[in-house]
């Protein structure tokens, strides 16, 4: 994307809020960006796809409150492009549907700066869809119109032909119309639309904290005022609104409206995230550890080269499995050399990682922690049994010490390191300043200590302490409590599915 024939500025539609509505092309542009200039309506979860070395600039346009004027944004795009950076202008919805994208690329064109427009999913039909309102329907409406609810205040006369719009289009979708709702209602009814016409306002459409207020043209202003609804919101007028009660699907799930931060490493977070998303949560993937190669392969290589000397292989994490067997293959070893070596694992995720690579687990901990594995191995090792434990550089010594007490000869080798991500604190500040979190979920002690270190002191630390805390097991819970965090959720079984169920039960109360 950085060759001389490529655009320097990509105007990318981020979609209405749900980060999964970003297009594949938008994702590719974001991954290549050296500078990301984004609006406040953009879901900041999308920033995880940009390079941590990219420059991030929030220009904060929302509902009349402008951190930057449009002219300043135009000038910023020109400046960053002239610096030779690949710039992504990330805009909510679609840039050319009431997004002022035309003005921005016009400014670039006037300066002969190359650009490309990447359309996005507009909130005009996405927000109604997430509210259970189809903007067209064979039995209710054959047409839909997108209309601004906030015209340029410098214009002397409205460009909206209210006499035609009011009754000439089946479904009307007004953008940015909350403040002008009384005027919109007045114009529609004055030009022939029935006061009993259904109407709905959708605030933060497609976000998990989406709010919907429904009524009729006759009573919607009072209903919206009573609810305290404000921008950003979409207004839908027409008989299709009456379908919401039957077709709503998004905002009646167990975790709807809950903003939950998960701290697992990126390569392990997706299944966890998908489970929470399916229950309606807004899930922010914020890895507080990065899995890296060990500081030296020497100890692990020596152990692999004399693998036949061990009677037991003991794995305490899926990361240990992946790193050990990856290195094992790199050294040209054959898995058949592991025949006769017995294998133990700390939990089902570790067992699954081994099974996917062709190894059967003989002993699985009954309680998924070091103490549980130690208990499960009790009586299985005769005196002098040689045990290899490939694990993280920093880990508790409960297991090796306990096995040695049982008479085993234990060798612990570093298979990987878990370190804090380099961009952690910067992104944590963005997340916590955007909107309060409901819950933070920890899946290991290191995820706790790393996040607490990032939060440091002051406002960030206070924001973390105000959240509900979920911990996957007792060791993680103890670490959190030692760091001054009150733990509200801990599942009986120390697995991701059990953790998700426990979070749902907590909010179900």
For the annotated catalytic residues, the residue numbers are 39, 61, 176
Quick one: tokens of 339? Answer: 């025949």
Distance CA 136, CA 142 (A): 6
Spatial distance between the Cα atoms of 423 and 428, rounded to a whole number of angstroms: 9
Could you give the CA distance from residue 289 to residue 263 in angstroms, rounded to a whole number?
8
Peptide bond into 372 cis (omega under 30): no
Supply 291's token pair: 């899995």
- The string of DSSP codes covering 388-439 is EEEEESS--SHHHHHHHHTT-EEEEEEEEEEE--TTHHHHHHHHHHHS--SE
Q: Write down the residue that tokens 């809950």 correspond to.
A: 258
Residues sharing a CB contact under 8 Å with residue 287, sequence separation 6 or more, in sequence order:
263, 264, 265, 266, 269, 421
Question: Chain-centre distance of CA 211, in angstroms?
Answer: 20
Q: Which long-range contacts (CB under 8 A, 24 or more apart) does 98-105 make?
A: 98/146, 98/148, 98/175, 98/176, 99/13, 100/70, 101/11, 103/70, 103/74, 104/11, 104/70, 104/73, 104/74, 104/77, 105/11
For the chain, how are helix, strand and coil distributed in percent, rounded to 5?
A: 40, 20, 40
- C-alpha distances (whole Å) from 132 to each of 126, 281, 330 are 10, 18, 53
- What distance in Å separates the CA atoms of residue 438 and residue 293, rounded to the nearest whole number? 34
Rounded Cα distance between 149 and 173, Å, is 9
Q: What is the 3-state secondary structure (H, E, C) of 421-432?
A: CCCHHHHHHHHH
93 φψ region: left (φ > 0), alpha (ψ -120 to 50), beta (else): left
User: Going edge to edge, which strands form the sheet with 259-262?
Assistant: 282-285, 259-262, 439-442, 468-471
Phi, psi of 414 (to 5 degrees): -75, 120
């Amino acid at each position: 994307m950085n060759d001389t024939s490529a655009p320097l500025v990509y105007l990318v539609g981020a979609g209405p809020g749900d980060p999964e509505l970003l297009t594949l092309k938008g994702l590719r542009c974001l991954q290549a960006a050296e500078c990301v200039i984004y609006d406040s309506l953009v879901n900041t979860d999308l920033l995880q796809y940009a390079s941590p070395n990219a420059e991030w600039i929030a220009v904060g346009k929302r509902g009349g409150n402008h951190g930057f004027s449009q002219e300043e944004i135009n000038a910023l795009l020109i400046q960053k492009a002239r610096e030779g950076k690949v710039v992504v202008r990330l805009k909510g919805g679609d840039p050319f549907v009431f997004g002022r994208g035309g003005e921005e690329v016009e400014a670039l064109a006037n300066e002969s700066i190359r650009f490309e427009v990447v359309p996005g999913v507009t909130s005009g039909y996405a927000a109604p869809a997430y509210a259970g309102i189809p903007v067209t329907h064979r039995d209710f409406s054959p047409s839909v119109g997108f209309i601004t609810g906030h015209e340029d205040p410098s214009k002397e006369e409205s460009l909206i032909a209210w006499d035609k719009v009011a009754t000439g289009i089946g479904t009307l979708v007004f953008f940015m119309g909350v403040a002008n709702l009384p005027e919109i209602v007045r114009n529609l009814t004055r030009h022939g639309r029935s006061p009993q016409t259904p109407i709905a306002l959708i605030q933060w459409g497609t976000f998990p904290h989406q709010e919907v207020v429904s009524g009729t043209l006759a009573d919607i202003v009072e209903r919206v005022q009573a609810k305290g609804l404000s921008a950003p919101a979409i207004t839908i007028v027409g008989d299709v609104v009456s379908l919401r009660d039957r077709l709503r699907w998004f905002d009646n799930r167990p975790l709807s409206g809950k903003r939950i931060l998960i701290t697992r490493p990126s390569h392990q977070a997706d299944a966890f995230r998908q489970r929470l998303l399916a229950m309606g949560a807004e899930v922010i993937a914020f890895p507080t550890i990065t899995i890296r190669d060990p500081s030296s392969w020497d100890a692990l290589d020596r152990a692999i080269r004399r693998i036949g000397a061990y009677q037991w292989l003991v794995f305490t994490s899926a990361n240990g499995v992946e790193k050990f067997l990856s290195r094992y293959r790199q050294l040209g070893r054959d898995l058949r050399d592991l025949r006769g070596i017995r294998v133990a694992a700390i939990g089902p995720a570790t067992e699954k990682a081994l099974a996917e690579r062709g190894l059967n687990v003989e002993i699985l901990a009954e309680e998924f922690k070091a103490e549980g594995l130690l208990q499960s191995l009790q009586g299985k090792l005769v005196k002098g049994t040689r045990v290899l434990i490939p694990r993280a550089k920093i880990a508790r010594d409960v297991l090796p010490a306990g096995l040695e007490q049982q008479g085993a000869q234990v060798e612990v080798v570093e298979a990987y390191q878990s370190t804090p991500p380099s961009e952690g604190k910067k992104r944590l500040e963005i997340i916590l300043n955007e909107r309060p979190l409901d819950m933070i979920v920890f899946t290991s002690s290191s995820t706790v200590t790393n996040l607490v270190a990032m939060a440091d002191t002051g406002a960030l630390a206070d924001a973390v302490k105000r959240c509900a805390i979920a911990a996957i097991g007792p060791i993680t819970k103890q670490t959190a409590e030692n760091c001054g965090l009150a733990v509200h959720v801990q599942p009986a079984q120390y697995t991701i599915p059990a953790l998700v169920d426990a979070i749902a039960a907590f909010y179900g109360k």
